[in-house]
Chain A
Amino acid sequence: MNVMLLLFSVGEDRYGLDVAHVVEVIPYIPLKRLPRAPDYVAGMFNYRNVAVPVIDVSALISGTPARRFLSTRIILVNYPAANGGRHVLGLIAEHVTETVKFDRSAFIASRVGVQNGEFLGALAMDDKGMVQCLEVEKLLPSEMREVLFRAEMPSPPVSGASA
């Protein structure tokens, strides 16, 4: 069983994202900043008439924001909503230029747990070194998830989803 990962890099390290989550990969376009949000929340933009929040994955992982290269892209992913639906979430990442297929058996579970790093998943090896998977579902702390997606809920939130 193969998994295809969309690769990106943070500093010198390589990370991957299961392409099954990916909706679209777009250039790093200007964003509207969100005041008083953590540094890793890069802002929002108008994606086909929906305000889509964008997370800077470089800032989230290493604390340094992504540089504006041609290869720095916003990866739009499907993010599970509190009410069971799907939201579009943007992830800014550097060097989004290739996809690689990995066999599922090639993954090794990461035994090193980092505080606030639940989104860092299994590791895979190839000839260029290690690739760590990003787990999209665990990317945002629950309170952040409520803040970012409250604005775009079209209908009154389901009970339990109110912020």
Chain B
Amino acid sequence: MNQAKALTADQDEVVIDDCWNRIGVWGKQQPRCPELEKVIHCANCKVYSSTGRLLLDRKPDNGYIESWYEQLRLVQRKKDHNATSVVVFRLSDEWLALPARMFQEVVDMRIVHRVPHSKSSVLKGLVNIRGELQLCVSLGRLLGVERHGISVDDAASGIYARMVVITDGEMRYVFPVSEVRGIQRYTPTDLQNVPATAERCSNNYMGGMLNIDDKQVGCVDPDLFFSALKRMLS
């Protein structure tokens, strides 16, 4: 039988009776531990938890202490209650953002089933999301973003094209994007005006611009966006 060992703070090895590996849930020896009747799983047992605490009787390593030292030195940023979150994503070369509350999920790319005789330029077709067919739209067409199509995964650089599911509370829409960067918090003061010469967006649905890591991100106004989407789909 292997004996479990642990090091204490003085680097002494102590022998631990790892009963959970013998007569507990991770062992096969008979007879079974009588405590299991009461606690069902070793994780609920005091022997297991108090032995686990021995792990904390070790010397901390320097990196751990130093990182905490640095962290505690810093003044915590005050929470701004006006702050809202957006999900930042990329459509070919354009970085865009929509309010995070509208996002339902981000899924892998999947097949879009074309709808025959559809005249809408925005409607790409239908996609299967968890067994339900949802409308798949082209955000690039709607916003007038110049696009070279969603490129194939650039897996080497960790960039994956995704399908994004959003909702306005009533309807769900799916659209493909080149990349989803993540959630970003901002306060209204971070929002900059859209340049008057916003040439690439022929239809202006932008609520403002955000500068995130030296990228100009266009924040799409959700009300304008959804009303335009509905108009172009009907």
Give A contacts to B, CB under 8 Å.
Answer: 26-30, 45-49, 67-71, 95, 97
The answer to whether B9 touches A67, judged by C-beta atoms less than 8 angstroms apart, is yes
Shortest C-beta distance, B55 to chain A (Å), equals: 8
Which 5 pairs of residues, A with B, have the shortest CB-CB distance? A71-B56, A29-B69, A70-B56, A70-B60, A27-B68
Shortest C-beta distance, B60 to chain A (Å), equals: 5
Residues 2-21 of B, flagged 1 when their CB comes within 8 A of A and 0 if not, give 00000001000000000000
Give B contacts to A, CB under 8 Å.
Answer: 9, 53, 55-60, 64-65, 68-69, 72-76
* Residue in chain B with minimal CB distance to A30: B69
* Residue in chain B with minimal CB distance to A73: B56
Please tell me which one of the listed residues A28, A29, A48 contacts residue B76 in the complex, with CB atoms under 8 A apart.
A48
The answer to whether A45 touches B57, judged by C-beta atoms less than 8 angstroms apart, is no
Q: What would 7 A/B residue contacts be, using CB atoms closer than 8 Å?
A: A28-B65, A30-B69, A46-B72, A47-B72, A70-B60, A71-B56, A95-B57
Q: Chain B residues near A26 (CB, 8 Å)?
A: 68, 72
Q: Chain A residues near B69 (CB, 8 Å)?
A: 29-30, 45
Q: Chain A residues near B64 (CB, 8 Å)?
A: 27
CA distance A97 to B54 in the complex (A): 11
Q: Chain B residues near A68 (CB, 8 Å)?
A: 9, 59-60
* Residue in chain A with minimal CB distance to B10: A67
* Residue in chain A with minimal CB distance to B52: A97
The answer to whether A69 touches B58, judged by C-beta atoms less than 8 angstroms apart, is yes
Shortest C-beta distance, B137 to chain A (Å), equals: 47
Q: Chain B residues near A48 (CB, 8 Å)?
A: 72-76
Shortest C-beta distance, A94 to chain B (Å), equals: 9
The answer to whether B9 touches A69, judged by C-beta atoms less than 8 angstroms apart, is yes
Please tell me which one of the listed residues A29, A46, A71 contacts residue B53 in the complex, with CB atoms under 8 A apart.
A71
A27 and B60 in contact (CB under 8 A), knowing A71-B53, A97-B53? yes
CA distance A31 to B74 in the complex (A): 16
Label chain B's interface by main secondary structure: helix
Please tell me which one of the listed residues A27, A45, A49, A67 contacts residue B75 in the complex, with CB atoms under 8 A apart.
A49
The answer to whether B57 touches A70, judged by C-beta atoms less than 8 angstroms apart, is yes
CA distance A28 to B9 in the complex (A): 14
* Residue in chain B with minimal CB distance to A98: B53
Shortest C-beta distance, A110 to chain B (Å), equals: 27
CA distance A27 to B65 in the complex (A): 7
Shortest C-beta distance, A63 to chain B (Å), equals: 19
CA distance A48 to B68 in the complex (A): 12
* Residue in chain A with minimal CB distance to B53: A97
The answer to whether A69 touches B53, judged by C-beta atoms less than 8 angstroms apart, is no
CA distance A115 to B211 in the complex (A): 63
Q: Chain A residues near B60 (CB, 8 Å)?
A: 27-28, 68-70
The answer to whether A69 touches B72, judged by C-beta atoms less than 8 angstroms apart, is no
Shortest C-beta distance, A89 to chain B (Å), equals: 15
Q: Chain B residues near A30 (CB, 8 Å)?
A: 65, 69
* Residue in chain A with minimal CB distance to B61: A70
CA distance A45 to B74 in the complex (A): 12
* Residue in chain B with minimal CB distance to A24: B72
Q: Chain A residues near B57 (CB, 8 Å)?
A: 69-71, 95
The answer to whether A29 touches B59, judged by C-beta atoms less than 8 angstroms apart, is no
Please tell me which one of the listed residues B56, B65, B75, B76 contacts residue A97 in the complex, with CB atoms under 8 A apart.
B56
* Residue in chain A with minimal CB distance to B60: A70
Q: Chain A residues near B74 (CB, 8 Å)?
A: 48
Given contacts A30-B65, A70-B57, 12 further A-B contacts (CB under 8 A): A26-B68, A27-B64, A29-B69, A29-B72, A45-B72, A48-B72, A48-B73, A48-B74, A48-B76, A67-B9, A69-B60, A71-B53
